[in-house]
Amino acid sequence: MSKEQPFAALTPDFILDAVESRGFYSDGRAIALNSYENRVLQIGIEDSNPIIAKFYRPNRWTKAQILEEHDFCFELVEQELPVVAPMLTQGESLFEYKGYYCALFERKGGHAPELDNLDNLFTLGRFLGRIHKVGQAKTYALRPELTPQTYGHDSIDYIIEHALPPEVKMPYESLARDVMKLVDELWQKAGQQRYIRVHGDCHVGNILWRDDNPHFVDLDDSRMAPAVQDVWMLLSGERDQQQKQLLEIIEGYQEFCDFNVAELQLVECLRTLRMIYHSAWLARRWHDPAFKHAFPYFGSVQYWQEQILDLRVQFAELQEAPVSLPTY
């Protein structure tokens, strides 16, 4: 398959043939869902509910790495946690069809959680505590860790070598290196981190709210990371708002799992790493036509000037006191 067009073979007929190879008979409907890294589609099934088919981006994860994530999902389901795990078809959660790895999922409805509702945040915290309790029980042997090196330094190196226009190369590199120096210092200041299996991309787009409870989807970015990685993306607004939100989340969390408050030092570090990693992700995927269509101004001088401004803001945020829990 072409590096420039990794999903070129995924024609409608190819997709339906792949699904039908697992014993599902399509009614011919296939609706593309919002996903860039992989290709995810809702497939209509004759005389039954639709299912979700996920075609993994070639050469991103190995088969063993994908199965590690699937096993984690199954462990969570065994503990009656609301995680949408892959279906077992012909005894397998992952199958290969003409060069593509694919998994099938039940379709689950729901809407994004209202994060300005403190009761919702308490509930999310309780479920995250239970998820992390399971996540602590084992480690990933093959999936990577989220660290300043893997998400920050490696991303900056790639950006400098492959993506920066000459006009902004010096100011971006100088600022990014300074920002990462501070991230490294804060990461060390937070103390020895306990890395556990986490969701990895726990934002509102990957949480479906249904029946007054969250349902977690898409653990594709699951990896070893500090527990706070699954917490910080649920915080928003001004500092006082984030403090209230954090209190609700951690109160719910600690009903099931201890939370290391020293990790709160990492919240702005993780936000910074995500910003840098996102730009590197776009650069690495730029050969895929879907990215050119979805992010048309990526790589322009204007894009990188905006990134420089955002990193300057983050540099200031990193020097502020971190969000914290009240002490009594």
Domain ranges of the chain: 12-106, 118-318
Which of 221, 226, 223, 72 minimizes the C-alpha distance to 142?
223
pLDDT in tens, 263-304: 999 999 999 999 999 999 999 999 999 899 899 999 999 999
Overall average pLDDT of the 50-78 stretch: 97
pLDDT in tens, 141-182: 999 999 999 999 999 999 999 999 999 999 999 999 999 999
Q: Which pTM does this prediction carry? A: 0.94
* 218 counts as catalytic: yes
Query: How far is 77 from 82, CA to CA, in rounded Å?
Result: 7
What pLDDT sits at residue 192? 84
What pLDDT sits at residue 4? 67
Is the pLDDT assigned to residue 18 strictly greater than 80?
Answer: yes
Overall average pLDDT of the 61-73 stretch: 98
| CATH 1.10.510.10 corresponds to the domain 118-318 | yes
pLDDT in tens, 234-258: 999 888 899 999 999 999 999 999 9
The pLDDT-based confidence of 1 (bands split at 50, 70, 90) is low
Q: What angle do CA 286, 68, 71 make, to 5 degrees?
A: 130
The total number of residues shown for the chain amounts to 328
**125 Cβ partners below 8 Å, 6+ apart?**
231, 248, 249, 250, 251, 252, 253, 254
Does 260 show up as a binding residue in the annotation? no
- Catalytic residue, from 201, 220, 230, 288: name it: 201
Overall average pLDDT of the 50-79 stretch: 97
Q: Which CATH class is domain 12-106?
A: alpha beta
* 201 counts as catalytic: yes
User: What average pLDDT does the chain have?
Assistant: 95
Provide the residue type at 247 as one letter. L
- Catalytic residue, from 154, 184, 212, 218: name it: 218
The per-residue b/e assignment along 152-169, b for 16 or more CB within 10 angstroms, e otherwise, is bbebbebbeeebbeeebe
Does 49 show up as a binding residue in the annotation? no
Report the 10 Å Cβ neighbour count for 317. Answer: 14
What pLDDT sits at residue 326? 74
